[in-house]
Amino acid sequence: MDSYTDLEDGKGRPNEGYSDFISEAIAEDLKNGRYTYVRTRFPPEPNGWLHIGHAKAISVDFSMAAKFGGECNLRFDDTNPEKEDMSYVEAIKRDIKWLGYDWGDREYYASDYYEYLYEIAVKLIKKGVAYVDDLSEEEIRVYRGTAVEDKNNITYTPPGKDSPYRNRSVEENLDLFARMRAGEFPDGSKTLRAKIDMAHPNLVMRDPVMYRIRRIPHYRVGTQWCIYPMYDFQHPLSDAKEGITHSLCSLEYEIHRPLYEWFIQQAEVFPSRQIEFARLNISKTVLSKRYLLQLVKEGHVSGWDDPRMPTIAGLRRRGYTPEAIRDFMGRIGIAKTDSLVDIALLEHCLREDLNKRAQRVMVVLRPLKLIIDNWPENHVEYVEAINNPEDPAAGTRPVPFGKELWIEQDDFQKVPPPKYYRLYPGNAVRLRYGYIVTCTGYDTDPVTGEVTAVHCTYDPATRGGNAEDNRKVKGTIHWVSVAHAKPISVRLYDYLFLVDRPMDVPPGGSFLDNLNPKSLEVIPTAYAEPFLENAQVEDKFQFERLGYFVRDPDVVDGKPVFNRSVGLKDSWSKIEKKLQSGS
């Protein structure tokens, strides 16, 4: 894999993997003189935290601009005051920065364009292509009509019905629209609509609403306005105002493109061009702010940054790195049609990244005491452990080794199942970086019969990890010295949903029915080697044999919390092989 040097340029990796239809379209536009420069924008609505689908859009927007020496604006599409909030603006900015993209001073707000948008609306009224309607929003919907299926299952859209107010005079429309702004009419009693074609085969073109009356204070402009522009009107004109050349958006906006172009043409403004690409969908995941908000509000997760959430903040807390996420974006590329990406690929990208950089440590999650009977009382030795086998420069560290060690409960069996190479009476294993020990017996609780301690003897000649000794044993297990162990708390995560497509539910069902009731397992006390004591929040580790873990900000009962980011076993390679062989 190549290096991440381009990350530092703050604009995106020009080679984030994109050689694709969007680049081709942009190159063509530059060649034939449609545009002389390239400017894109990322337009989040501040009504939720960013998720990995947004990271895809961010990656496309910034990378395309960088690829053509252009720039990318960050524009908050904040024209729907009901759900928007400054806290979301802050969260969005923090997450984009963390991903490694830099918009510089190109930070814009659609709410700064309200006056400009109003003037354009007036211009359209004067041209006779916009009118004030008294129909209710519900009536407008009914008049517009819907697609129906004929006897042969062919869908078509019968013409809609003109509003009785459609032919108001320009003067009357100007007067009514000014009075809408002035607050003379109650909420929902009037709208401003574009006058296009109520029989248009594309429902989006049937006199779409441009403004509605809503007395809701806006988080930035307060109560200055009681009319708010609709997305379809606001978006193309905001693009035009910023001189955006290529307005890249997800596929669901494709049917809105004729309207995008209609507004630009009628308003006679800078001709921004909309190009759509496929939305990112990931298996076992929901990527829609509305549903993520529901998970948060109903307490199915601990918050927007719960490590099970596909939000950028959740992934970050889970231990994802910007590099892993950007590597993932490069690998999936840009497509024109929607598809479902296996979550195993995302995990694979994280594993690849952490494998290179994560410090190795030993931690015992489910402790069982191992007693070395022939070890001198109170004697402690320090064995040398490798910090990162992938990075010799990371060096080694001393790890205390003593008479009593914690090992994993499942590294011992009274009676070994077939192919079990770990500890059982009579068998020898290597204690990683330490000695080879042979199991001599075990203690049990007289009441429950549970194993309370395992006994063994060690061979003093086998210290370290020499290859010849290792040939004598088939298993190596990790351990932590009881006298030196640091208690930590561990959270093990599984997928939040049980099925690949959580939104596919039978009629009357809910995506919540697909929630995995066992997506979080808490281990209140695990034992770590002393090295982990100095871990800072967001520091990443490989707990040997257990997976990659990250230090969480939480401390519970005085114990620092570590989240499992991802296990060690990679299921992606297998899936990839299967995909390549086409089976």
Q: What CA–CA distance (Å, rounded) separates 363 from 344?
A: 25
440 binds ligand ATP (CB under 6 A): no
Binding mask 75-94 for ligand ATP (x = CB under 6 A): --x-----------------
341 Cα distance to chain centroid:
13
Distances (CA, A) of 271 to 23, 25, 118, 238: 19, 15, 19, 11
Residue 455 interacts with ligand ATP (CB under 6 A)? no
Say whether residue 44 binds ligand ATP (CB under 6 A): yes
- Cα separation, 583 vs 578, whole angstroms: 6
Strands (DSSP E) found in 363-431:
363-364, 367-372, 381-386, 396-401, 404-408, 428-431
Write each residue from 264 to 283 as x if it is in contact with ligand ATP (CB under 6 A), else as -, in one continuous string: ---------------xx---
Angle at 186 between CA 182 and CA 188, to 5 degrees: 110
Q: How far is the CB of 78 from ligand ATP (least distance, A)?
A: 10
When the beta carbons of 89 and 205 are compared against ligand ATP, the nearer one is 89
Residue 419 known to be catalytic: no
Task: Say if strands 246-250 and 547-556 run parallel, antiparallel, or are unpaired.
Answer: unpaired
Residue 57 makes contact with ligand ATP by CB under 6 A = yes
The interface mask with ligand ATP, positions 283-302, x = CB under 6 A, is ----xxxx------------
Closer residue to ligand ATP (CB): 304 or 401: 304
> Number of C-alpha atoms within 13 angstroms, CB side, residue 306?
20
Q: Which amino acid is at 380?
A: V
- 330 near ligand ATP, rule: CB under 6 A: no
Crossing angle of helices 86-99 and 322-332, rounded to 10°: 80
In this chain, which of 7, 10, 23, 45 binds ligand ATP, going by CB under 6 A?
45
Comparison of 284 and 478: residue with beta carbon closer to ligand ATP: 284
Closer residue to ligand ATP in complex, CB, 43/208: 43
Contact with ligand ATP (CB under 6 A) among 11, 13, 39, 54: 54
Question: 96 or 361: whose CB is closer to ligand ATP?
Answer: 96
Which range touches ligand ATP (CB under 6 A), out of 50-58, 185-193, 491-499, 503-511? 50-58
φ and ψ at residue 78, rounded to 5 degrees: -110, 70
408: helix, strand or coil: strand
To 5 degrees, how large is the angle CA 499–CA 501–CA 505?
Answer: 90
Which 8-state DSSP code applies to residue 218? Answer: B
Instruction: Return the biggest CA–CA distance within the chain.
Output: 102
* Spatial distance between the Cα atoms of 298 and 34, rounded to a whole number of angstroms: 49
DSSP label of 7: G
Nearer to ligand ATP, 283 or 288 (CB): 288
Is 308 annotated in the active site? no
Q: Does 313 interact with ligand ATP (rule: CB under 6 A)? A: no
Nearest approach in angstroms of CB 314 to ligand ATP is: 14
Q: Is 289 part of the annotated catalytic residue set?
A: yes
324 or 485: CB nearest ligand ATP: 324
The interface region with ligand ATP, picked from 1-9, 43-51, 471-479, 561-569 by CB under 6 A, is: 43-51
* Cβ proximity to ligand ATP, 279 vs 357, nearer residue: 279
56 lines the binding site for ligand ATP (CB under 6 A): yes
Q: Token digits for 332?
A: 């999936």
Q: Please give the Cα distance from 450 to 371 (Å, whole number).
A: 16
378, with CB counted inside 10 A (0-12, 13-18, 19+), is: exposed
Please report how close the Cβ of residue 284 comes to ligand ATP at its closest, in angstroms.
Answer: 15
Residue nearest to ligand ATP (CB): 53
Local structure of 421: helix, strand or coil: coil
Helix (H) or strand (E) holding 70: none
Is 131 in a helix, a strand, or coil?
strand
Residue 281 neighbours by CB distance under 10 Å: 17
CB 570 → ligand ATP: shortest distance, Å? 25
Among 196, 249, 456, 528, binds ligand ATP (CB under 6 A): 249
For residue 293, the minimal CB distance to ligand ATP (Å) is 9
11: number of Cβ within 10 Å: 22
Can you tell me which of 11, 39, 53, 434 binds ligand ATP, judged by CB under 6 A?
53
Q: Stretches 38-46, 257-265, 510-518, 563-571: which one binds ligand ATP (CB under 6 A)?
A: 38-46
C-alpha–C-alpha distance, residues 400 and 21, integer Å: 58
Of 75 and 348, nearer to ligand ATP (C-beta) is 75
**Which tokens go with 349?**
């990208």
Using CA atoms, how far apart are residues 466 and 494, in angstroms rounded to an integer? Answer: 37
CB hemisphere CA count around 210 (13 angstroms): 30
Residues in contact with ligand ATP, shown as a per-residue x/- string from 191 to 230 under the rule CB under 6 A: ----------------------------------------
Instruction: Give me the least distance between CB of 465 and ligand ATP, in Å please.
Output: 47
Q: Which residues contact residue 273 at a Cβ distance below 8 angstroms, ignoring those fewer than 6 apart?
A: 29, 34, 245, 246, 247
Catalytic one among 13, 56, 193, 289?
289
Strand 39-42 and strand 71-76: pairing?
A: parallel
For residue 240, the minimal CB distance to ligand ATP (Å) is 16
Phi, psi of 358 (to 5 degrees): -80, 130
Pick the binder of ligand ATP from 12, 43, 307, 560 (CB under 6 A).
Answer: 43
Return the residues of window 342-361 that contact ligand ATP according to CB under 6 A: none
Query: One of 279, 357, 366, 486 is an active-site residue; which one?
Result: 279
Stretch that binds ligand ATP, among 37-45, 295-303, 331-339, 464-472 (CB under 6 A): 37-45
Q: Catalytic residues, which ones?
A: 45, 279, 289
Residues at the site binding ligand ATP, with contacts judged by CB under 6 A: 43-45, 53-54, 56-57, 77, 249-250, 279-280, 287-290
